[in-house]
Chain A
Amino acid sequence: MRRLGLVALVLAALFPFYWAIVASLTPEAVLFARPSLWPSALTLEHWRALFGERAFWLPIRNSLVVAGATTLLCVSIGTLAAYALARLEFRGRGAILGFILAVTMFPQISIVSPLYLLLRELRLIDTYPGLVLPYITFAMPLTVWLLVGFFRQLPRDLEEAALVDGATRWQTFTRIVLPLAAPGLATTAILTFIYCWNEFLFALSFTLGPERQTVPVAIALFRGQYQVPWGQILAATVVATLPVAALVLVFQRRIVQGLTAGAVKG
């Protein structure tokens, strides 16, 4: 009984992907005439066009650069902040933690236009920094929040032992805390990367053309000459899903830990 339920669950979760893969390999004509679960004819036409005429390599490159840069920036700066918030005593700590939590709840739409004007002033519209900067609004709080959770899970007396042994705070941080928190850092980086990769509103608002558009924007804006090019769109969705799917498959335990460590304790 349970087994049946689990199978149904996995099917429900994966069916849309299966369908997208099948449809992306089905010629246009067959697709619109007679959709069926089993592919009758197969073609690579959509895939070829995706990387040929559509030059889908561009959005992939853009997404990689933006997500990668944002993750790198936020994890390095965020780690320091998170350690201080998790372990060091200072006045204002509670306020800053609350501040970070509050910013994670910002609706992006509320800051789109001032950010647009700011980026325009700085001549950063349609550039890489022009996306990384706005991404900080959600990536940094996320990073800090997750890392605080991970640092708090480390046993306190390890750091105390290091202090009594004669290590300065900095030495304790670099030689004891960081090595032990490395798995947590990896998880944080993965989750941050995924969030950046998936972001849509800012990428839509702050880029102008295919040179800097990210994958979600590029797919959403696919336009065909006569009708919606579903074959190519679905091929694109498969491509957009692959890196994320790979990350999830390999790191699923870590990802689950990270999500719940930060969230369950509130």
Chain B
Amino acid sequence: MTDRRLAWLFVLPAVGLVALVAIFPLGWTLWESLHLHDLRMPWRGRPFVGLENYLELLGDPRFRDAMLHTLLFAAVSVSLELALGLAVALGLDRAFRGRGIVRAAVLLPWAIPTVVAALLWRFMFESQAGIVNAALVSTGVVEEPVVWFVRAATAWVPVVLADVWKATPFVALLLLAGLQGIDRSLYEAAAVDGASRWWQLRHVTLPLLKPTILVALVFRTLDAFRVFDLIYVMTGGGPGTSTEPIALYTFDALLQNLRFGYGAALSVVVFLVTFTLALIYIRWLGAGESR
């Protein structure tokens, strides 16, 4: 058995399965998005309507809002996660006693279901039983407990905090691995030359960390764009649809409103945006790394 034949034998089951459960449905979604398919109006059948769903989508204010929400959420969360993650990584960079415990503790938020994280933070920001309100009131920052989830502006706070709390460990670990790949002697040389810690950070650490930062950026942005679990559980997209991200709107269209055709079009848009972002990043990454 030649290497080539063996390779295909090895690869086919995995690739075949993935193609079946991922590619096939994706193709179906694309096809479906070109049809009118509303299960609330079954008498209309399933006629081919070309790009009509997409045109409707472009004029749909709820869609525009959802995209806006998603973009802002992604921008804010990812920036915070990168900044905090870097700080944590720098803090963990030296070996110290109890490092394993600290690492395990820091990993825990990342490892739990997003649903659990959402519930924990939702509870902490509860108006009556929430510890956050209790702290704010007892320290005199506010007089009355804040009803966080009744207004979009305040509802975003716990949502973003929960996401940052959950995702920063991953970013921190990634950056830590990158930090540990930097040759110590570079810092030593800089120190001997009289460079301050700050200077070392700016001119030695950050440039060499750039590839890792980029990887973290890719993963986090893609995840933030696809956010669903967190918001479904924390706010349900509300109040109204004011915190609704694009994935939740799609879910709503598909499984609540049973507008399969339109929902499929939304799905395709989500997919295209995600994919384009991924491609841009990969190109950026590929160009940045020396081959």
Direct contact between the two chains A and B in their complex (CB within 8 A): yes
| Cβ-based interface call for B119 (8 A) | yes
Q: Which residue of the partner chain B has the closest CB to A99?
A: B15
Q: Which of A12, A93, A106, A230 contacts B123 (CB 8 A)?
A: A230
Which applies to chain A's interface (DSSP): helix, strand, loop or mixed? helix
Q: Which of A23, A34, A134, A259 contacts B170 (CB 8 A)?
A: A259
Provide the residues of chain A in CB contact with B178, threshold 8 Å.
264
Q: A16-B120, A31-B129, A88-B7 are in contact. Are A264 and B212 (CB under 8 A)?
A: yes
Q: Which residue of the partner chain A has the closest CB to B273?
A: A107
C-alpha spacing A22/B212, complex, angstroms: 38
Cβ of B177 and Cβ of A260 under 8 Å apart? Answer: yes
Q: Which residue of the partner chain A has the closest CB to B178?
A: A264
Interface residues on B, range: 35 or more
Cβ of B104 and Cβ of A77 under 8 Å apart? Answer: no
Q: B49-57, B184-192, B249-257: which lies at the A interface?
A: B249-257
C-alpha spacing A105/B218, complex, angstroms: 10
Number of interface residues, chain A, beta carbon within 8 A? 92
Q: A113-B32, A113-B264 are in contact. Are A252 and B4 (CB under 8 A)?
A: no
Q: Which of A133, A170, A248 contacts B108 (CB 8 A)?
A: A248
Cβ of B29 and Cβ of A113 under 8 Å apart? Answer: yes
Q: Measuring CB to CB, which residues of chain B are less than 8 angstroms from any residue of chain A?
A: 1, 3-4, 6-8, 10-11, 13-15, 17-18, 21-26, 28-29, 32, 88, 91-92, 94, 96, 100-109, 111-117, 119-121, 123-124, 126, 128-131, 134, 165, 169-170, 173-174, 176-178, 181, 211-212, 215, 219, 222, 225-226, 228-229, 232-233, 247, 250-251, 254-255, 260, 263-264, 267-268, 270-271, 274-275, 278, 285, 289
Q: Which 5 A-B pairs have the closest CB atoms?
A: A81-B14, A260-B177, A114-B25, A84-B10, A88-B7
